[in-house]
Structure 1
Amino acid sequence: MFKKILIANRGEIACRVIKTARKMGIATVAVYSDADAGALHVRMADEAVHIGPSPANQSYIVIDRIMDAIYASGAEAVHPGYGFLSENPKFAAALDKAGIAFIGPPKRAIEAMGDKITSKKIAQEAGVSTVPGYMGLIADADEAVKIAGQVGYPVMIKASAGGGGKGMRIAWTDHEAREGFQSSKNEAANSFGDDRIFIEKFVTQPRHIEIQVLCDSHGNGVYLNERECSIQRRNQKVIEEAPSPFLDDETRRAMGEQSLALAHAVGYASAGTVEFIVDGDRNFYFLEMNTRLQVEHPVTELITGIDLVEQMIRIAAGEPLAITQADVGINGWAIESRLYAEDPYRGFLPSIGRLTRYRPPEEVTETTRAVRNDTGVFEGGEISMFYDPMIAKLCTWAPTRSEAIEEMRTALEAFEVEGIGHNIPFLAAVMDHPKFVSGDMTTAFIAEEYPEGFDGVTLDRYDLRRVAAATTAMNRVAEIRRTRISGRMGNHERRVGNHWVAQLQGEMFAVRIDADPEGSTVTFDDGAVMRVESDWTPGQPLARLSVNGDPLILKVGKHTHGFRVRSRGADLSVTIRTPRQQELAARMPEKTPADTSKLLLCPMPGLIVKVDVEEGDEVHEGQALCTVEAMKMENILRAEKKGVVARINAAPGDSLKVDDVIMEFE
């Protein structure tokens, strides 16, 4: 067995590999760029080697820099994680030439399966059903438009060396095919150093289901069931689960056997994933094989009890698999939510900055439930614009799917992240969505259910009353504390008063609070009564309460005359006043926001890649104005209405902050 391994990656996956290596008694070496000098994976590893500037194309994906780190550290093997060099055959070849073990598949398997075009041909020869498409390389945008028309819209434009949603676009028209081809080509070049593009038919209303395989160098192999990955946004997975709520045993077995046949056809040895599109009749079609560890591998580990990283290390060390297909079962249900540094209220645009608060829920492993959080960040750390926006992978396990969902709801409510925009409210909303709860979803779930984007959850009247009852009871506690601090004379509780008016989500609730040592009884003006119990104290950012015997978790922030409260995907401004204060407040004029209708504001921190118009140009609704690159993704900003460009304030190469003015209109 190896004594020391180097992890050629960063963030949560580097931390994940370090944990297993430590468990196996193997020393670890981290690599880091300028931006990652204080990163968590650097802190966790036994050693760390600096490999260059912050951009990945000057550090993490420069083979020579990684090789220098290996030589300097004396590592015997390298785990590549996912992304970066994990599926680069040149890297595998460099390691082989240097006599360093690659904790991944053989170079020939990476070459065969890493190229999406070649992999489809091999899959067809191995008897795996594939999606119709054009298997050759595409020279330019004109050819892309021609081929798309021949295949038939809609089509998927994909980077041959792509993965993780990078370099992928769906086109429904010639215009979208032309534009999507160039954006996919640019993203592929920046993310993978390979800008080859191919086109395949886009199957509408599909489910995305993948099979985890594990093969050794002695001809043994098993499939570790499937993962459902249909909750996606822009082809980037957001929520995964294992097993799938859609598959039956017969389909699972057929998909697993075909996946193993494909793996054996290319001499695969390591952990790998075969991805499929599955239609409503459980017909499945091969998409691609990822010759690496997947982001979502924890859910497979949770239902099988098999540590995939450990198995990869043992296979790379030449050990035969100690697992047979008969040993692989399905124990319970697991769900993974990907926490991203992106603002769901601004179209999920990337968000960067310092984590002023980062408090994940407690990790537990019990016979009836489990909570796991794979992360690469810490409180006070920075979310950089140079890498992907993932903060953490929050996973829950329980004996049944409904119980696993409930565990996830609770874990998301208890997850505290401040300082940046993040998608926890959206994840919480999905956990409560009827389609997700029923398991009736496709890869079009987000596009169909949130066609105008995500504006938060609107609570029903009962849940709104629960929040009103909880916050008025909390406000009473805060008021008592304030009167004590201010030194007011007399009985503090009596001076605070019992009657309050709570205003939230456009509704108003007049209540009376009767407190006792165990809690508060909140009576609404229509006679409804709710019992609130909690040990919350003013200043705590997380309130755990019981309302009518049911748990309620609130993320709490203070503002004038009340709280900012976040719960189950809702973000509420709760104003609490005395009846007299409310009467006077109703007479106050409202402030009107500044008019920005004639400005194009930068929606995210990023780099201007391209400006498509000039001053004086007349633009039309939907016309591309400029392209902003952030966290390895290109975002095309378009005109919202007809107008004339009066002034352009940014040029290609400029780095902008959120709400910087890119251009002005007449």
Structure 2
Amino acid sequence: MFKKILIANRGEIACRVIKTARKMGIATVAIYSDADRDALHVQMADEAIHIGPAPANQSYIVIDKVMDAIRQSGAEAVHPGYGFLSENPKFAAALDEAGVAFIGPPKGAIEAMGDKITSKKLADEAGVSTVPGHMGLIEDADEAVKIAQDIGYPVMIKASAGGGGKGMRIAWNDAEAREGFQSSKNEAASSFGDDRIFIEKFVTQPRHIEIQVLADAHGNTIYLNERECSIQRRNQKVIEEAPSPFLDEKTRKAMGKQACDLAEAVGYTSAGTVEFIVDGDKNFYFLEMNTRLQVEHPVTELITGIDLVEQMIRVAAGEKLSISQKDVGINGWAIESRLYAEDPYRGFLPSIGRLSRYRPPAELQDDRHIVRNDTGVYEGGEISMYYDPMIAKLCTWAPDRAQAIEAMRVALDSFELEGIGHNLPFLSAVMDHPKFVSGDMTTAFIGEEYPDGFDGVQLSDHALRRVASAAAAMNRVAEIRRTRLSGRMDNHERKVGRDWVVLAQNVEMPVTIDADRDGATVRHEDGTEMRVTSDWVPGQPLARLTVDGAPLVLKIGRETGGYRIRTRGADLSVRVYSPRQAELARHMPEKAEADTSKMLLCPMPGLLVKLDVEEGEAVEQGQALCTIEAMKMENILRAERKGIVSKINAGPGDSLAVDEVILEFE
């Protein structure tokens, strides 16, 4: 077994590999860029080596720099994580030449399967059904348009060396094919150092289901069931689960067999994933093979009890698999929510900055449920514009799907994160969405259910009453404390009234509170009573309560006249007034918002890489105005209406902050 391995990656996956290596008694070496000098993976590793400037193409994906770090450290093996160099055959070849073990598949398998064009040809030759498309390389946008026309819209434009949603665009017409081709090439070059593009038919209403395979160098190949990855945004997975709520045992076995046959055909070893799209009749089509560890591997580990990173290390060390296909079962249900530094209220655009508060729910494990959080950040750390926006992967396990979902709801509500925009509210909203709860979803779920973006959650009447009851009870506790601190009376509680008016979601809810030593009974205007108990203390940012007999977790922030309360995807300003205050509040004018209709504001921190207009130019609705790059993704900003550009305040190469004015219009 290896004594020391180097992790050629960063963030949560580097931390994840370090945990298993530590468990196995293997020393670890981290590499880091200027931006990651104080990163968590650097702190966790036994030693760390600096490899260059912040941009990945000047540090993490420069093979010579990584090889130099390997030589300095004396590492015997390298785990590449995912992304970066994980599917780069040149890196695998360099390691082989240096006599260093690659904790991944052989170079030939990476070349055969890691390249999306070659893998489709091989899958077709092996009798695996594939999606119609053009497997040859595409030289320019004109050729891309012609190919797309021949295939028939809609089409998927994809980076040959791609993964993780990078370098992928859906085109529904010639203009989108032309534009998507160039954006995909740019993203592919930036993320993978390889700008080759191919095009295939985009199958509408599919489910994205993938099979985890594991193989050793002694001829043993097994599959570890499937993962459902249909909840995606911009072709990037957001929520995954295992097993799939859609597959039956017959389909699972057929997909598993094809995945293993394909892996064996290319001499595959280590962990890998064969991705399929599956239609409503359970017909499945080979999509691609990822010759690496997947981001969503924890859900497979949770239902099988198999540590995939450990298996990868053992296979790389020449060991035989200690498990066979008959040993692989399905124990319970697991769900993974990807927590991203993306602001759902700004169209999920990237957000960077300092994590002023980062308190994940406590990790735990027992017979009834598991909470696991794979992360690479810490409170006070920085989210950089240079890398993927993932903050953490929050996972829950339970004996069945309904319980796993409920455990995830509580875990998401308990996750405290401040300082940047993030998608926690959206993840919570999905957990309560009827289509997700029923398991009836496709890869079009987000586009169909949130066509205009995400504006938060409107709580149901019952849920709103529960929050109002909690707010009233907490306000009573805060008022007692305030009265006590003022020292006005010995009998503090007599100064706190019983009658209050709670205002939330523009709904007034008069309530009466009867309190005792164990909690409070909150009576609503129609006579409904809700019992509230909690050990919450004013000032605590997280409140765990029982309301109306069921648990309720609230994130609490003090505001004038009430609280900012966040729960189950809702972000509420909750006012708690005395009856007289409520009467006066009805007459208060609302503050008018500033008029920014004649400005193009930068929706996220990023780099202005392209400006498409000039001062004095007339623009049409939907016309591209500029391109902002952040976290390895290009974002094209378009005109919302007709107008004339009167002033340009920024140019290509400028770093922009959120809401910085880029253009002004007449």
What range is the shorter-chain TM-score in? over 0.9
Q: Name 2:73's counterpart in structure 1.
A: 73
| Equivalent AA in structure 1 for residue 614 of structure 2 | E
| Equivalent AA in structure 1 for residue 564 of structure 2 | R
Q: Name 2:260's counterpart in structure 1.
A: 260
- Looking at structure 2, the residues matched to 500 and 434 of structure 1 have their Cα atoms a distance apart, in angstroms, of 34
- Looking at structure 2, the residues matched to 259 and 444 of structure 1 have their Cα atoms a distance apart, in angstroms, of 25
The SS at the match of 2:564 is strand
Q: Name 2:421's counterpart in structure 1.
A: 421
Q: Name 1:348's counterpart in structure 2.
A: 348
Q: Deviations over 1:522-556 (max 9, x none)?
A: 11122221111111000001101111111111010
Q: Deviations over 1:354-412 (max 9, x none)?
A: 11111111111111211111000111111111101101001111111111111111111
Q: Name 2:622's counterpart in structure 1.
A: 622
The SS at the match of 2:640 is coil
| Equivalent AA in structure 2 for residue 167 of structure 1 | G
- Looking at structure 2, the residues matched to 294 and 446 of structure 1 have their Cα atoms a distance apart, in angstroms, of 22
1:148 aligns with 2:148: yes
Q: Name 1:596's counterpart in structure 2.
A: 596
Q: Name 1:102's counterpart in structure 2.
A: 102
- Looking at structure 2, the residues matched to 127 and 322 of structure 1 have their Cα atoms a distance apart, in angstroms, of 30
Q: Name 2:302's counterpart in structure 1.
A: 302
The SS at the match of 1:455 is coil
The SS at the match of 1:597 is coil
| Equivalent AA in structure 2 for residue 393 of structure 1 | K
Q: Name 1:42's counterpart in structure 2.
A: 42
Q: Name 1:56's counterpart in structure 2.
A: 56
- Looking at structure 1, the residues matched to 42 and 561 of structure 2 have their Cα atoms a distance apart, in angstroms, of 44
- Looking at structure 1, the residues matched to 644 and 103 of structure 2 have their Cα atoms a distance apart, in angstroms, of 56
The SS at the match of 1:194 is coil
Q: Name 1:318's counterpart in structure 2.
A: 318
| Equivalent AA in structure 1 for residue 312 of structure 2 | M
| Equivalent AA in structure 2 for residue 269 of structure 1 | T
The SS at the match of 2:402 is helix
| Equivalent AA in structure 2 for residue 501 of structure 1 | V
| Equivalent AA in structure 1 for residue 84 of structure 2 | F
The SS at the match of 1:592 is coil
Q: Name 1:640's counterpart in structure 2.
A: 640
Q: Name 2:89's counterpart in structure 1.
A: 89
In the TM superposition, residue 495 of structure 1 has moved relative to its aligned partner by: 0.8
1:609 aligns with 2:609: yes
- Looking at structure 1, the residues matched to 252 and 397 of structure 2 have their Cα atoms a distance apart, in angstroms, of 21
Q: Name 1:362's counterpart in structure 2.
A: 362
Structure 1 unaligned spans of 5+: none
The SS at the match of 2:386 is coil
- Looking at structure 1, the residues matched to 31 and 63 of structure 2 have their Cα atoms a distance apart, in angstroms, of 12
The SS at the match of 2:223 is strand
The SS at the match of 2:417 is strand
In the TM superposition, residue 489 of structure 1 has moved relative to its aligned partner by: 2.7
Q: Name 1:127's counterpart in structure 2.
A: 127
Q: Name 1:437's counterpart in structure 2.
A: 437
CA RMSD of aligned residues (A): 0.7
Q: Name 2:542's counterpart in structure 1.
A: 542
1:175-254 residue pairs with structure 2 within 5 A? Answer: 175-254=175-254
Q: Name 1:288's counterpart in structure 2.
A: 288
| Equivalent AA in structure 2 for residue 86 of structure 1 | S
| Equivalent AA in structure 2 for residue 307 of structure 1 | D
1:515 aligns with 2:515: yes
In the TM superposition, residue 487 of structure 1 has moved relative to its aligned partner by: 2.5
The SS at the match of 1:662 is strand
Q: Which moved more, 1:521-530 or 1:446-455?
A: 521-530
Q: Name 2:399's counterpart in structure 1.
A: 399
- Looking at structure 2, the residues matched to 69 and 488 of structure 1 have their Cα atoms a distance apart, in angstroms, of 68
- Calculate the TM-score normalised by the size of structure 2: 0.99
Q: Deviations over 1:228-279 (max 9, x none)?
A: 0000000000000001011111111111111111111111011000000100
In the TM superposition, residue 76 of structure 1 has moved relative to its aligned partner by: 0.3
- After the TM superposition, which segments of 4 or more aligned residues of structure 1 sit over 3 Å from their partners? none
- Calculate the TM-score normalised by the size of structure 1: 0.99
- Looking at structure 2, the residues matched to 320 and 519 of structure 1 have their Cα atoms a distance apart, in angstroms, of 59
The SS at the match of 1:634 is strand
- Looking at structure 1, the residues matched to 322 and 462 of structure 2 have their Cα atoms a distance apart, in angstroms, of 54
Structure 2 unaligned spans of 5+: none
The SS at the match of 1:409 is helix
Q: Name 2:488's counterpart in structure 1.
A: 488
| Equivalent AA in structure 2 for residue 562 of structure 1 | G
Q: Name 1:335's counterpart in structure 2.
A: 335
- Looking at structure 1, the residues matched to 370 and 523 of structure 2 have their Cα atoms a distance apart, in angstroms, of 38
- Looking at structure 2, the residues matched to 205 and 586 of structure 1 have their Cα atoms a distance apart, in angstroms, of 48
| Equivalent AA in structure 2 for residue 314 of structure 1 | R
| Equivalent AA in structure 2 for residue 18 of structure 1 | I
Q: Name 1:117's counterpart in structure 2.
A: 117
The SS at the match of 2:35 is helix
- Looking at structure 1, the residues matched to 120 and 295 of structure 2 have their Cα atoms a distance apart, in angstroms, of 22
Q: Name 1:631's counterpart in structure 2.
A: 631
In the TM superposition, residue 486 of structure 1 has moved relative to its aligned partner by: 2.3
In the TM superposition, residue 63 of structure 1 has moved relative to its aligned partner by: 0.6
The SS at the match of 2:32 is strand
In the TM superposition, residue 20 of structure 1 has moved relative to its aligned partner by: 0.4
| Equivalent AA in structure 2 for residue 43 of structure 1 | Q
- Looking at structure 2, the residues matched to 320 and 590 of structure 1 have their Cα atoms a distance apart, in angstroms, of 70
The SS at the match of 2:150 is helix
- Looking at structure 2, the residues matched to 665 and 164 of structure 1 have their Cα atoms a distance apart, in angstroms, of 37
| Equivalent AA in structure 1 for residue 430 of structure 2 | V
The SS at the match of 1:158 is strand
- Looking at structure 2, the residues matched to 234 and 460 of structure 1 have their Cα atoms a distance apart, in angstroms, of 29
Q: Name 2:581's counterpart in structure 1.
A: 581
- Looking at structure 1, the residues matched to 542 and 3 of structure 2 have their Cα atoms a distance apart, in angstroms, of 43
- Looking at structure 1, the residues matched to 20 and 648 of structure 2 have their Cα atoms a distance apart, in angstroms, of 52
